[in-house]
């Protein structure tokens, strides 16, 4: 009887101990694995393969906390600009007919280098650098 | 007596000194300036920085005469083209001698405009001047006579930030304005307006000053027809939406003032949602009454707008809480931005007075803010309920502790 | 099987390094058992919490980036993106607070049981130095997330240093790495927190532990006076160690409970140009000093009140450290001995001032 009690206690001790150790090591090892977004502050973002991106079109890329509009012009040039309108922070869009950047909120218009050319925007859009690395589009912050 | 003696002495002194200098200097010296400076007789508003002086023009370029002669009688003789101080009514033409002639002006600036005088005579100022009113503004009233600076120069009287005060020099003068029967509180109103605060307080030079709505050389109060175009130069969407409505026509028929009817003019404030709807601050109920269609539309637009606004505010509050707690807020931020954008757009869409359009937009916005709210709530909940893992860990620890406890007890029993 | 390998390993080491001293220590070290023996565990808990700090601190170092533009962002990154980052950070902050708490409890239990007396003077002194460094750890670590509250608390805290005559100003500039609290202060505090303090701390901690092992546990007066056969002991190993372990596990569980249910907020990023937010408070363990300084009048005689306060705490701390060398006359008629009375007054003062700090 006594032996059984000892065995039982030892078993409990083993289970509890292993469980306790696991519940310490699991979080610790999870912590050690680098998270998907490896940088606390985003300095560059991959924006897909250039071949899959049709000319004369655009898409909005999440650059950390900031939206960036990536435009591929008809002659396959890339442009990346901050997508927050300098007027009231609406997200701008690319008009593929007029080849301009347009903000739907108050009809603000920018040219493809981000200069504010019409409507209420007070400042040009901030520009980002676009590099093609092995066919992949990479947007980086200037400076 | 004493005074004239001093003057003649000074003249004599200056004269003899000039004589000496002349020998070793070329004739390039502008004698007008040299002499007038020496006798301290330069124009009151004279500035060394004046654009004309920087362009190496002499006083004589405007006033005529011979700048090469140091003899007052020769230099300022009408036979040398001396015109002296122009009469007020002649000033536009006086400046126009050069400024209306592209052949002269392009030397200094190839694409400079030369229609200022022409425009001026279409303005109220210009018309009145022609009619013999000597109190109205001419070129020098705004540009000054002898410290003229380009409009881009922050020191200039016509630099965007300085324009309101420049206009106010006359338009704020109640004595002067009495004859014309126009108010003098425009600057006061303007400085409190959304435009005035942007320009004068926040120094945002892209905000409109007086001339951006009234024109500068051709300054005229915008006519009824043009009001919405004037505002529409910047507020394009609002103009487009409004002009396409039946309201625009009705406004015209009733001689209403377009945008100004609801938003005012010089004192235009940042619009708020109370301007629509049927509350006491509503502009709609100025004309519409309970029972008519406009009343219902206004009510509907207001309710859908406030619904979105409240949704957005609630989501935003949660977003801030999430940030404060240090939870993941990136995606919530993006959703909120979309919601905010929909809010801005639906506010602009009010000017269509079309409930379906506004409601469609607000619905879109509400969806975004709901999504943001949901995500934020999840983060907030997560913050306080990472419980499951803890429960498992605690169970393990508990088993261990209990087992250990009995083990120790057993041991103690054995030893004693 | 495991036991066999274990004993073989020990034999192997024993053969080469002679483990007799260790074995003797483990087998012969005894811990007295009496109604106050619960206080023997406080030091152990403090040690355990220090180990937790060491471990979680090293983990945080993997992701933390000092610097004005990156510190706050990296802490946000740790608590949002890194898996269990919130847990590690919160355990680190909570453990820091508990560590200070248990260090204080440990210190006062030692004081009231007079365990600092000959021959344990040096144990007390090293212990006091460890406490000072623990507080320095807390102060320097508080700034590292670079949030508003920490920024202003550090500003106020270093300002207080500045009132000390002659050396105050240079010391303040030295701590801040410049005239003001800036990114330079952050780098400095980071260096102090992760390199300088741990190095010094480890030295004193090792000394502290060695002294204890060499001299064994202190026996209080009432226990010492017992007849030999009535003295009860338990062996340090394994009995006391097992109880220690049990307590550590419980404390650890409380720790993660606190980290989970009462986590530390991150707050807003520090902005040197923002106006100070309301309710800036130092960490609770500095509260009694902060509050006393606040309650002092602006001028006492010809001296500034704050200066006097700072000097007082400095001198009082120094005297407290030298307590083992202070002899007070034993008064048989007194129910409470003078030194004990002083201790009670000090504890009461700390508790009252801390409470006042939070309710005023």
From chain A residues 3-62, the ones with a CB under 8 A of any chain C CB are 20, 27-28, 30-33, 35-37, 39-41
Q: How far off is chain A from B233, nearest CA to CA, in Å?
A: 7
Whether residue B300 is found in the same domain as residue B374: yes
Whether residue B244 is found in the same domain as residue B313: no
- Closest alpha carbon to C68 in C181, C229, C179, C171: C181
pLDDT at A41: 65
C293-322 tens-digit pLDDT: 888 887 777 778 888 888 899 999 999 999
C-beta atoms of A90 and B404 within 8 A: no
Is B46 within a domain?
A: no
Is B80 within a domain?
A: no
**Residue A40: pLDDT band by 50, 70, 90 thresholds?**
low
Q: For residues C299 and C308, give the distance between their C-alpha atoms in angstroms, rounded to a whole number.
A: 9
- Please provide the average confidence, as pLDDT, over all residues in chain B: 85
Question: For C76, what's the count of Cα atoms within 13 Å in the CB-facing half-sphere?
Answer: 25
Residue of A nearest to B238 (CA): A106
Per-residue DSSP letter, B148: -
Greater model confidence, A47 or C55: C55
Indicate whether A51 pLDDT > 90. Answer: no
pLDDT at A7: 86
* Cβ-nearest to B326 among C80, C246, C256: C80
CB B291 within 8 A of CB B281: no
pLDDT at B125: 92
Whether residue B298 is found in the same domain as residue B355: yes
Residues of B with CB below 8 A from A2's CB?
A: none
B190-199 tens-digit pLDDT: 999 999 998 9
Greater model confidence, C227 or C210: C210
Read off the pLDDT of each residue in B93-108 and give the average, rounded to a whole number: 90
Interface residue A133 vs chain B (CB under 8 A): no
Is B327 within a domain?
A: yes
Residues of C with CB below 8 A from A32's CB?
A: 59, 62
ipTM score of complex? 0.78
Whether residue B374 is found in the same domain as residue B397: no
**Residue C192: pLDDT band by 50, 70, 90 thresholds?**
very high
Considering chain C, what percentage of its residues have pLDDT values greater than 70? 99
DSSP C268-320: PBP-TTSPPPS-----HHHHHHHHHHHHS-SEETTEEHHHHHHHHHHHHHHHH
Indicate whether B9 pLDDT > 50. Answer: no
- Please provide the average confidence, as pLDDT, over all residues in chain A: 85
Whether residue B308 is found in the same domain as residue B363: yes
Residues of A with CB below 8 A from B234's CB?
A: 106, 119-120
- Closest alpha carbon to C137 in C63, C94, C189: C189
Is B23 within a domain?
A: no
Q: Report H helices in chain C.
A: 2-17, 20-28, 40-61, 71-80, 85-112, 121-143, 148-161, 168-176, 183-191, 197-215, 221-224, 241-261, 284-295, 305-321, 338-359
pLDDT at B139: 92
pLDDT at B385: 66
Q: For residues B262 and C206, give the distance between their C-alpha atoms in angstroms, rounded to a whole number.
A: 79
C-beta atoms of C84 and A30 within 8 A: yes
Q: How far off is chain A from B120, nearest CA to CA, in Å?
A: 26
Indicate whether B64 pLDDT > 90. Answer: no
Residue of C nearest to B412 (CA): C239
pLDDT at B11: 43
Indicate whether C197 pLDDT > 60. Answer: yes
Whether residue B373 is found in the same domain as residue B413: no
Indicate whether C35 pLDDT > 70. Answer: yes
Q: How many domains does chain B have?
A: 3
- Please provide the average confidence, as pLDDT, over all residues in chain C: 88
Indicate whether C255 pLDDT > 50. Answer: yes
pLDDT at B224: 62
The angle formed by the CA atoms of residues B63, B68 and B72, to the nearest 5 degrees, is: 70
Q: For residues A2 and B270, give the distance between their C-alpha atoms in angstroms, rounded to a whole number.
A: 85
Is B255 within a domain?
A: yes
Whether residue B255 is found in the same domain as residue B317: no
B209-220 tens-digit pLDDT: 998 888 888 888
Helix (H) or strand (E) holding B147: none
* Cβ-nearest to A9 among B234, B338, B407: B407
Strand partners, A136: A49, A133
CB B302 within 8 A of CB B273: yes
Q: For residues C75 and B383, give the distance between their C-alpha atoms in angstroms, rounded to a whole number.
A: 16
Residues of A with CB below 8 A from B403's CB?
A: 9-10, 12-13, 16
Q: Report H helices in B227-354.
A: 227-232, 236-243, 246-253, 259-263, 293-325, 330-349
Question: For B396, what's the count of Cα atoms within 13 Å in the CB-facing half-sphere?
Answer: 17
pLDDT at A39: 64
Q: How far off is chain B from C337, nearest CA to CA, in Å?
A: 36
Indicate whether B13 pLDDT > 60. Answer: no
Whether residue B240 is found in the same domain as residue B260: yes
CB B286 within 8 A of CB B251: no
Is B140 within a domain?
A: no
What are the tokens at C168? 């105050």
C312-319 long-range contacts, CB within 8 A, separation 24+: C313/C289, C314/C164, C317/C132
Whether residue B302 is found in the same domain as residue B261: no
**Residue C191: pLDDT band by 50, 70, 90 thresholds?**
very high
Read off the pLDDT of each residue in C232-241 and give the average, rounded to a whole number: 82
φ, ψ (nearest 5 deg) of residue C133: -70, -30
Indicate whether A96 pLDDT > 80. Answer: yes
**Residue B203: pLDDT band by 50, 70, 90 thresholds?**
confident
**Residue C358: pLDDT band by 50, 70, 90 thresholds?**
confident
C-beta atoms of A27 and C84 within 8 A: yes
Residue B275, preceding bond cis, omega within 30 degrees? Answer: no
Phi-psi region of C145 (alpha: psi -120 to 50; beta: other; left: phi over 0): alpha
pLDDT at B21: 44
Residue of A nearest to B361 (CA): A105
Domain CATH for B361: 1.20.140
Domain limits for position B258: 222-269
Residues of C with CB below 8 A from A20's CB?
A: 249
Read off the pLDDT of each residue in A51-73 and give the average, rounded to a whole number: 86
Whether residue B377 is found in the same domain as residue B390: no
Whether residue B359 is found in the same domain as residue B305: yes
Indicate whether B236 pLDDT > 60. Answer: yes
Considering chain B, what percentage of its residues have pLDDT values greater than 70? 92
DSSP B61-119: HHH-S-TT---HHHHT-GGGT---SPPGGGHHHHHHHHHT-HHHHTTT-TT----HHHH
A-contacting chains (≥3 CB pairs under 8 Å): B, C
Is B209 within a domain?
A: no
Determine the residue among A17, A40, A143 to mutate to test chain C binding: the one whose Cβ has the most chain C Cβ atoms within 10 Å: A40
Is B244 within a domain?
A: yes
């Amino acid at each position: 009887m006594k032996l059984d009690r000892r065995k039982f206690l030892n078993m409990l001790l083993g289970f509890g101990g292993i469980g306790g150790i696991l519940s310490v090591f699991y979080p610790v090892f999870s912590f050690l694995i680098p998270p998907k977004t490896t940088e606390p502050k985003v300095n560059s973002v991959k924006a897909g393969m250039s071949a899959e991106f049709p000319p004369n079109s655009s898409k909005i890329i999440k650059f950390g906390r900031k939206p960036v509009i990536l435009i591929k012009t008809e002659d396959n040039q890339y442009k990346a600009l901050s997508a927050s309108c300098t007027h009231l922070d609406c997200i701008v869009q690319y008009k593929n007919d007029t080849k301009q950047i347009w903000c739907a909120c108050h009809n603000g218009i920018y040219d493809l280098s981000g200069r504010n050319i019409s409507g209420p925007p007070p400042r040009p859009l901030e520009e980002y650098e676009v590099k093609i690395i092995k066919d992949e589009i990479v947007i980086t912050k200037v400076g | 007596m004493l005074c004239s003696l001093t003057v003649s002495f000074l003249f004599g002194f200056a004269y003899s000194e000039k004589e000496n200098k002349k020998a070793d200097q070329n004739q390039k010296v502008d004698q007008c300036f040299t002499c007038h400076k020496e006798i301290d007789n330069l124009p009151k508003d004279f500035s060394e920085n004046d654009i004309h002086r920087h362009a190496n023009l002499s006083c004589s370029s405007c006033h005529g005469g011979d700048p090469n002669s140091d003899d007052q009688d020769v230099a300022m003789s009408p036979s040398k083209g001396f015109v002296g101080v122009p009469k007020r009514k002649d000033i536009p033409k006086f400046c126009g001698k050069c400024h209306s002639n592209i052949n002269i002006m392009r030397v200094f600036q190839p694409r400079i405009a030369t229609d200022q005088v022409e425009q001026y005579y279409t303005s109220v100022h210009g018309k009145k001047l022609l009619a013999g009113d000597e109190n109205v503004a001419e070129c020098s009233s705004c540009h000054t006579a002898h410290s003229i600076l380009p409009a881009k120069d922050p020191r200039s009287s016509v630099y965007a930030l300085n324009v309101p005060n420049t206009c106010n020099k006359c338009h704020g003068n109640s004595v002067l304005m009495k004859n014309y029967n126009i108010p003098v509180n425009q600057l006061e109103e303007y400085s409190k307006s959304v435009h005035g605060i942007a320009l004068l307080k926040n120094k945002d030079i892209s905000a409109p000053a007086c001339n951006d709505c009234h024109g500068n050389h051709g300054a005229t109060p915008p006519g009824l027809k043009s009001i919405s175009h004037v505002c529409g130069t910047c507020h394009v969407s609002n103009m487009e939406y409004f002009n396409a409505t039946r309201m625009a026509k009705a406004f015209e028929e009733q001689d209403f003032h377009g945008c100004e009817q609801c938003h005012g003019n010089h004192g235009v404030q940042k619009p708020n949602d109370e301007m629509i709807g049927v509350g006491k601050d509503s502009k709609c109920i100025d004309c519409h009454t309970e029972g008519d269609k406009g009343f219902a539309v206004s009510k509907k637009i207001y309710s859908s707008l406030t619904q979105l606004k409240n949704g957005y505010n609630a989501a935003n509050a949660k977003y801030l809480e999430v940030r404060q707690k240090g939870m993941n807020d990136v995606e919530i931020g993006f959703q909120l931005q979309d919601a905010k954008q929909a809010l801005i757009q639906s506010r602009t869409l009010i000017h269509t007075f079309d409930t379906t359009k506004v409601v469609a937009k607000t619905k879109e916005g509400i969806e975004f803010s709901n999504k943001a709210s949901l995500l934020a709530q999840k983060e907030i909940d997560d913050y306080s309920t990472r419980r499951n893992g803890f429960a498992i860990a605690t169970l393990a620890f508990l088993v261990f502790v209990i087992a250990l406890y009995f083990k120790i007890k057993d041991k103690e029993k054995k030893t004693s | 099987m495991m036991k066999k390998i274990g004993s073989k390993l020990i034999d192997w080491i024993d053969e080469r390094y002679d483990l007799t001293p260790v074995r003797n220590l483990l087998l012969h070290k005894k811990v007295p058992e009496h109604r106050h023996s619960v206080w023997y565990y406080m030091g152990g808990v403090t040690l355990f919490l220090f180990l937790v700090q060491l471990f979680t601190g090293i983990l945080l170092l993997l992701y933390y980036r000092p610097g004005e533009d990156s510190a706050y962002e990296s802490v946000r990154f740790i608590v949002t993106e890194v898996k269990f980052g919130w847990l590690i950070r919160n355990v680190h902050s909570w453990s820091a607070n508990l560590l200070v708490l248990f260090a204080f409890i440990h210190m006062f239990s030692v004081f009231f049981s007079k365990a600092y007396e000959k021959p344990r003077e040096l144990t007390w002194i090293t212990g006091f130095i460890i406490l000072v460094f623990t507080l320095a750890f807390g102060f320097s670590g508080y700034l590292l997330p670079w949030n508003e509250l920490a920024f202003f608390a550090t500003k106020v805290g270093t300002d207080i240093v500045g009132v000390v005559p002659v050396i105050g100003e240079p010391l303040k500039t030295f701590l801040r790495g410049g005239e003001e609290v800036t990114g330079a202060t952050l780098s400095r505090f980071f260096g102090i927190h992760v390199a300088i303090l741990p190095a010094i701390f480890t030295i004193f901690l090792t000394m502290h532990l060695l002294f204890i092992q060499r001299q064994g546990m202190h026996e209080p007066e009432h226990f010492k006076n017992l007849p030999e056969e009535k003295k009860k002991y338990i062996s340090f190993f394994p009995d006391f160690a097992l109880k220690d372990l049990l307590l550590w596990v419980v404390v650890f569980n409380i720790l993660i409970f606190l980290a989970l249910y009462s986590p530390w907020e991150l707050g807003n990023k520090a902005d040197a140009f923002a106006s100070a937010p309301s309710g800036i408070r130092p960490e609770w363990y500095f509260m009694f000093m902060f509050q006393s300084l606040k309650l002092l009048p602006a001028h006492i005689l010809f001296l500034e009140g704050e200066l006097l306060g700072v000097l007082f705490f400095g001198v009082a701390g120094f005297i407290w450290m030298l307590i083992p060398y202070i002899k007070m006359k034993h008064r048989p008629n007194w129910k409470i001995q003078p030194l004990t009375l002083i201790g009670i007054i000090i504890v009461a003062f700390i508790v009252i001032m801390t409470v006042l700090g939070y309710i005023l």
